[in-house]
Amino acid sequence: MVTTREIATAVVTASLIFGAAALAQAYDGGEVKDGGTISGTVKFAGAPPARKTIEVTKDKEVCAKEKHLSFDLVVGPDKGIENAVVRLVDVKKGKKWASTKAELDQKGCVYRPHVTVVPAGGELNILNSDGILHNIHTYSKANPSINKAQPKFKKVLTEKFSKPEVIKVACDAHAWMGGWIVASEHPYIAVTDAKGAFSLKDVPAGTYKVEIWQETLGKSEKTVTVKAKEETKLNVELAKK
Amino acid sequence: MRWWGRQRGTKIAEEQSLRIVFFVSSMMFVVVTGWAVWDEEATRRPWKEYQAEFNRLEYEQVSQELAAERSKLDSPEARAARAKLQGDVQAAQARLAGPEYAKAQKLLAARQAEYADVSMRGQFIKSELDEALYWVEHAIYEKKDTQGPKARVVNLEKQLHEIMPKVEALGAKEVQAQAEVKRFQADVEKIQVKIGELVAPVTALERRLASIKGRSAEVKQVVVEGLAINEFKEPILTVDRCTTCHLGIDRAGFEQMKQPFRTHPHREVLFGKHPITRFGCVSCHQGQGPALEVDSAHGEVKHWERPLLRGSSVQVSCRPCHVEEKELPLAPVYSQGRQMVEELGCFGCHNLPGFEKAQKVGPDLTRIASKVDPSWLFRWIKDPRGYLPKTKMPNFGLSDEDTLNVESYLLSASQPMPELRGAFKAGGSVERGREIVNKIGCLGCHRIAGIEPKGQPSEAASAVSARNSGANASESEKRTAAVMVNGEQASQPVRARLTAPPPAPENQDFAPDLSKIASKVNADWLFSWVKNPKHFRPTTRMPSLRLSDDEARAVTAFLMTLGQRRPIAGLDQELKKTERIAAGERLIRKRGCFGCHDIKGFETAEKIAPDLSNYGHKRLLELFFGEAVQVKQTWEDFTFWKLKNPQIYATERVEQLMPNFGFTDEQAKTLRVFLKSMSTQRPQAQFERKLSDEELAIQNGRGLVKRYNCNGCHVIEGQGGAIAAFYPDKTKIPPPLEVGGLHEGEKVQATWLYQFLGRPTPLRPWLEVRMPTFGLGIEDATTLTKYFAAMGKQRVPYEYVSLHEPLAENLRAGRLLMSKDYFDCFSCHQQGDKKPEGPPEGWAPDLSLAKRRLRPVWIAKWLKDPQKIEPGTKMPSYYPGGPDDVFGGKEDRQIRAITDYLMHLGER
Ligand SMILES: [Cu+2]
């Protein structure tokens, strides 16, 4: 179970990460010609811990269809870390957000995806595929915290997060349910896949600070220089603090 | 001389010329008169200079404001606005001079003429009708033929009927035409008023400047009636001329001015309730009201007995009228001093008005022998702070010999312990005991070294109040706290609470620190004490946590690992000596230990120390300075040093019996303010401030909240709840009761609360911390119930009465809405014996209790927006967003249905 303290720490860290971004000038989105790509992997340094099995104590007929493993740190076979967030920090200008929407599903009493990226100010459609009562309880600072019930009959709940922030989301009906909503001003943000891989495309040439964040490992920062039409590799290792 | 003699010698008196004498003396006379006038005008009237200076300063200030206003008026926007209005005026005026207005006027004239014409005709017909009627009557009287006149009447009545509607219609038309004409004029006037409003600030300031210039110097005085009392206890008239120099005292805008011109702090509140014309100045500040020279007006001259009360000491003046009130937000030092007296128990030895019914503040010593280790007791009596640095127990400065004597009496007079059901046997689990002490709530009041807060300092508690900071309560409290610390006066709402916020866990000294408890108490005693404190001492504040024998054993086992005994060799033999017992009894009688403690043999002993009910008026010759030449000969210095170190006044022949409380300078000064207020003088009845029932409920309730330290666990009035720091999991902390929009008294039914306070039953099974059983009597439980009701703006008694049967369709809909297919409330909420799935941490309160526990109005409010009432609550919002297929999605009807269903849950 995620304790208050962990949530608080995570929220504080998250707000520190994005505090700077919030202060900066608004992002200017437009056409990008001859952009470069940043791609690479985020890997775990050291022996990866095994995922804990979570005991489903409630609504078993819906929630216990699959075996539940904890999502706080998912390390793949090649030590690739899944669900790490990689983003540019000080980008002022670049491509437009391709979409203005995102989707988050509650299925089998798990947030899918575990980390959802949503354009700041865009709509997040929260689905309830389970057909049982969940509630969306967010812990945030820049955006107002919400705690809304999503009973069976409420198939979709639409929410907006106007400020960029990393927001913890939890369900009070199912203590094990935990996920993250990342509201970002610009589209240069990626969540790593099962192999720990990510790529940020159409980045205007220049030097950037790249931030890598994972809920239990915290954040680290790298500087990357992107050249036009070229691919820049960025491989990062995160370790337990 | 010779010349004078010669003159006299040569002429007779009548012939002698006195011209020179006259001239000289009249010149002297003129000079003296001139000097007298100059002296009177220039040196004897220093207030004139103050007035002149004030006028100058005010003139400067107003000029600055005027300049600011003018520049505002000169800003492009203001100019544009004015230009537009001017344009409008001109347009309107043009219209007034234009053909349309002329037309309207012409129309009006025509209408007036028409109306006048028709209405005159109507009048004539009426007159003729009167005449005709007369002729009818006349004919009847003269017995003539009435036919002719009657026909005329009928004819005239017909004419009148025809003409009256015309008159009315034309009248209405005339009014309309008049309105039309007026509209043209009103247009101009309206715009002119607007222009006037725009420049009003400037003209007001200009007028103020002119009035300042026109001021002439004058003595200002207030005549106060009935507040002061003469030697014969009769109300008298007094004159205050303070405002002659304190010119800005009752005017806003001079807060930053230098003295004597500054605005009175908290002017609006203080003068709002105490108008200067009724109360004057001297009644609170003292000094010499009619005097017009600085030192004598302030009474800081010889032989004036009531000099100006400077600084916080002016707060003593609140007491005579506000004697009923314990906390005066605008007299924080006085209030804190009063609270110190209450906590320290000064009334145990001194007679202090207002504390006649107060309980002794120290523990009961009638069973001390079974409670404590004799070696510990010896060290404790000799130096209490050596064991507990924050204890209230003062140091009596006893010699070893005297200490032994006192102890031997206490032990010999001690009674046996009451019979216990299950005595303590060793073998309780220390680990389990530690766990229980950690979780069950001991840390709400006690501090134990080694058990430290787990979160950031009271993170959860501050989170609660921070989230509620929308309500100004917490802000004002912070400010109040700042006032307490600095002793300065800052602006603050008057209803705000005064007492400093409860201490953080590390400073918790409400109850004794248990870090070294094993060096003090016996295990048997401890076991029976934690199991049922009231059994041991009915008046104790320590509640029962309803520990089972096993739990109590474990807790005892754990607590007995804290600290080491340090036996004093040969102590037992010494203590048994009978001469010591007798000497101890004498010493206890002399030093008055029974003022704070119950001691066998001293049940009827009288207070040993002087009566302080008129201490504030003690004259210097009544105060015994002894040989303390270093202390200045004033009431203030005497009292300060008496509090700091009573022994300073001891001489070879005069003992000082008062113990040393180890006050800091700040504490001594605070207490001194309270002592200064001790007076037997009472104002006339009409000046006494009586508390309303509601205010009394709040005051008494706060007293109990403090007495039982409810704040140790619960956030009440935005304060407290520090125990939360020991629970990293926010769902495990005791519920807040009174913060922001959350009011326990608005939430629960008074009857339920009353019963719960008397005999708490667990409501939240997921909490490891227990609501203790305080064993509250009827009076205390009623007081607390009334307090919470008053804070929640509810009336007591309150009973839920459903005036009419709820509609069956409401009950059906309520049940449907709460079912699994809709809101699925019982996914988390308990329902009597039906418990939700999953571990108790995820549960929510029992809804079958709602009908006895909750107020229906609150249920509806809660359902509408739980986050607004208790930000951060686990309860999610269901609205807006109710299902469309129940009552057509109408929110209010659905909420009503759920409320009705909850208030009948279990009935069908
Ligand atoms: Cu859920």
Domain of A91, CATH number, reads 2.60.40.420
Task: Name the residue of chain B whose CA is nearest to A55's CA.
Answer: B838
**What sign does the CA torsion over A171, B454, B459, A212 have?**
negative
**Residue A229 contacts B, CB cutoff 8 Å:** no
C-beta atoms of A3 and B836 within 8 A: no
Query: In what side-by-side order are the strands of the sheet with A36-44?
Result: A197-203, A36-44, A231-238
* pLDDT of B505 higher than 80: no
Mutating which of B829, B841, B878 best tests the A interface, going by the most A Cβ atoms within 10 A?
B878
pLDDT band at B164 (very low <50, low <70, confident <90, very high): confident
C-beta atoms of A175 and B820 within 8 A: no
Query: Alpha helix (H) ranges present in B345-429?
Result: 368-371, 374-382, 384-387, 400-413
**Residue A148 contacts B, CB cutoff 8 Å:** yes
Reading the block at residue B733, the tokens are: 């902390």
| Sequence spans of domains, chain B | 2-41, 64-213, 222-305, 309-349+610-656+658-690, 368-447+508-595, 693-788, 808-903
Nearest to B874 among A57, A136, A172 (CB): A172
How many Å lie between the centroid of ligand 1 and the Cα of residue A135? 6
**Residue A144 contacts B, CB cutoff 8 Å:** no
Task: Name the residue of chain B whose CA is nearest to A176's CA.
Answer: B842
Q: β-pairing, A197-203 with A189-191? A: unpaired
- What is the per-residue pLDDT across B704-722, written as a single tens digit (0 to 9) for each? 998 899 988 999 988 888 8
* pLDDT of A10 higher than 70: no
C-beta atoms of B824 and A151 within 8 A: yes
* Contacts B819 to A, Cβ<8 Å: none
* pLDDT of B889 higher than 50: yes
* pLDDT of B366 higher than 70: yes
Please count the residue pairs, one from chain A and one from chain B, whose beta carbons lie less than 8 angstroms apart. 80
What pLDDT score was predicted for residue B462? 39
How many Å lie between the centroid of ligand 1 and the Cα of residue A110? 8
What pLDDT score was predicted for residue A239? 86
Task: Give ipTM to 2 decimals.
Answer: 0.84
What pLDDT score was predicted for residue B794? 82
**What sign does the CA torsion over B116, B120, B126, B130 have?**
positive
Task: Name the residue of chain A whose CA is nearest to B841's CA.
Answer: A175
Residue at B609: amino acid letter: A
- Tell me how close the Cα of B830 comes to any Cα of chain A, in angstroms: 13
Using an 8 Å CB-CB cutoff, list residues of chain B that contact chain A.
454-455, 459-460, 728-731, 820-824, 827-828, 836-839, 841-842, 866-867, 871-878, 881, 883
What pLDDT score was predicted for residue B378? 92
* Contacts B729 to A, Cβ<8 Å: 3-4
CATH 1.10.720 fits B368-447+508-595, yes or no: no
**Based on the structure, what is the number of domains in chain A?**
1
pLDDT band at B864 (very low <50, low <70, confident <90, very high): very high
What pLDDT score was predicted for residue A90? 82
What pLDDT score was predicted for residue B798? 62
Q: Which of residues 170-199 of A touch B (CB under 8 A)?
A: 172-175
Nearest to A151 among B460, B822, B875 (CB): B822
How many Å lie between the centroid of ligand 1 and the Cα of residue A174? 4
For residues B134-155, give the mean pLDDT.
84
How many Å lie between the centroid of ligand 1 and the Cα of residue A172? 7
- What is the per-residue pLDDT across B11-64, written as a single tens digit (0 to 9) for each? 777 788 888 999 999 999 999 999 998 887 777 788 888 898 999 999 998 999
pLDDT band at B642 (very low <50, low <70, confident <90, very high): very high
Residue B12, judged by CB atoms within 10 A of its CB (0-12, 13-18, 19+), counts as exposed
Residue A175's domain comprises: 4-238
With H, G, I as helix, E, B as strand and everything else as coil, classify residue A226. strand
Reading the block at residue B416, the tokens are: 């046996």
Reading the block at residue A212, the tokens are: 């890598």
What pLDDT score was predicted for residue B802? 60
What pLDDT score was predicted for residue A13? 53
**Residue A155 contacts B, CB cutoff 8 Å:** no
Mean pLDDT score across all residues of chain A: 85
* Contacts B842 to A, Cβ<8 Å: 57-58, 172-175
With H, G, I as helix, E, B as strand and everything else as coil, classify residue B196. helix
- Tell me how close the Cα of A41 comes to any Cα of chain B, in angstroms: 35
What pLDDT score was predicted for residue B257? 86
Pick from A209, A126, A204, A120: nearest CA to A166? A120
- What is the per-residue pLDDT across B185-220, written as a single tens digit (0 to 9) for each? 888 888 888 888 888 888 899 998 899 888 888 888
Residue B495, judged by CB atoms within 10 A of its CB (0-12, 13-18, 19+), counts as exposed
Give dist(CA B67, CA B61) in Å, integer. Answer: 10
- What is the per-residue pLDDT across B375-396, written as a single tens digit (0 to 9) for each? 999 999 999 988 888 888 999 9
Q: List the single range of B96-100, B369-373, B887-891 with lowest mean pLDDT.
A: B96-100
* Contacts B873 to A, Cβ<8 Å: 147
What backbone torsions phi and psi does residue B580 show, to the nearest 5 degrees?
-70, -40
For Cα atoms B601, B603, B608, give the angle at the middle one, nearest 5 degrees.
100
With H, G, I as helix, E, B as strand and everything else as coil, classify residue B742. strand
* pLDDT of B499 higher than 80: no
What pLDDT score was predicted for residue B543? 92
Mean pLDDT score across all residues of chain B: 84
**Residue A59 contacts B, CB cutoff 8 Å:** yes
Give dist(CA A159, CA A147) in Å, integer. Answer: 11
Residue at B79: amino acid letter: R
- What is the per-residue pLDDT across B767-792, written as a single tens digit (0 to 9) for each? 889 999 998 888 999 999 999 999 98
Residues making up chain B, counted from first to last: 908
What pLDDT score was predicted for residue A20? 43
What pLDDT score was predicted for residue A5? 52
Give dist(CA B892, CA B445) in Å, integer. Answer: 44
C-beta atoms of B878 and A152 within 8 A: no
- What is the per-residue pLDDT across A21-78, written as a single tens digit (0 to 9) for each? 444 457 887 888 888 899 999 999 888 888 888 888 888 888 888 888 888 898 988 8
Nearest to A5 among B728, B731, B839 (CB): B728
Neighbours of B606 (CB within 10 A): 10
- What is the per-residue pLDDT across A155-213, written as a single tens digit (0 to 9) for each? 899 999 999 999 999 999 898 899 999 999 999 999 999 899 999 989 998 899 999 99
Reading the block at residue B284, the tokens are: 């609170």
C-beta atoms of A147 and B867 within 8 A: yes
* pLDDT of B3 higher than 80: no
* pLDDT of B489 higher than 50: no
C-beta atoms of B839 and A57 within 8 A: yes
How many Å lie between the centroid of ligand 1 and the Cα of residue A133? 6
- Tell me how close the Cα of A147 comes to any Cα of chain B, in angstroms: 5
**Are the C-beta atoms of residues A83 and A115 closer than 8 Å to each other?**
yes
* pLDDT of B418 higher than 50: yes
Reading the block at residue B187, the tokens are: 């247009």
Reading the block at residue B501, the tokens are: 């916020």
Mutating which of A68, A132, A147, A150 best tests the B interface, going by the most B Cβ atoms within 10 A?
A147
What pLDDT score was predicted for residue B154? 87
- What is the per-residue pLDDT across B253-275, written as a single tens digit (0 to 9) for each? 888 888 889 999 999 889 988 99
* pLDDT of A235 higher than 80: yes
Nearest to B837 among A59, A157, A172 (CB): A59
- Tell me how close the Cα of B438 comes to any Cα of chain A, in angstroms: 18
Tell me whether the CATH fold assigned to B368-447+508-595 matches the one assigned to B808-903.
yes
* pLDDT of B334 higher than 90: yes
* Contacts B823 to A, Cβ<8 Å: 133, 149, 151
How many Å lie between the centroid of ligand 1 and the Cα of residue A144? 21
Mutating which of A1, A3, A4, A62 best tests the B interface, going by the most B Cβ atoms within 10 A?
A4
- Tell me how close the Cα of B479 comes to any Cα of chain A, in angstroms: 25
C-beta atoms of B878 and A3 within 8 A: no
CATH placement of domain B808-903: 1.10.760.10
